[in-house]
């Protein structure tokens, strides 16, 4: 969705540039072209990072739901002691885990394998 919005903005800028092409100098046109290329590069990089983070999160959520253990900030998180909250992408202690009551652990702080 963000990429479609980005493309719409780029197309709008190109349309404005084309409509006013006779008023821009060659230097301004070159600067505008370089700016567009850089903007497209940043958007591509952002989308790639976002896709990678989403895939990592999906894998961890799937592993948690399958009963596997996640390792988050020195804690072992499993479905036996924690509940996953989809809206905030975090874990909270369930009723059987009185030791960790009130602790919220963000999914971004978790790994599938134990860090040595």
> Per-residue pLDDT tens for 86-107?
989 999 998 888 888 888 999 9
Backbone angles phi, psi at 113, to 5 degrees: -110, 150
Q: pTM higher than 0.85, yes or no?
A: no
Q: Which two tokens stand for residue 99?
A: 């030791």
Q: Which two tokens stand for residue 60?
A: 């961890």
């Amino acid at each position: 969705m963000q990429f479609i919005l980005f493309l719409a903005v780029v197309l709008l800028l190109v349309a404005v540039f084309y409509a006013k092409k006779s008023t821009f100098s060659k230097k301004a046109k070159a600067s505008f072209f370089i700016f567009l290329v850089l903007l497209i590069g940043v958007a591509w990089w952002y989308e790639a990072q976002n896709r990678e983070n989403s895939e990592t999160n999906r894998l961890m959520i799937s592993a948690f739901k399958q009963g596997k253990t996640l390792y988050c900030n020195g804690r072992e998180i499993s479905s036996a002691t924690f509940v996953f909250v989809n809206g905030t992408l975090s874990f909270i202690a369930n009723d059987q885990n009185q030791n960790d009551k009130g602790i919220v652990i963000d999914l971004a702080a978790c790994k599938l394998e134990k860090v040595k």
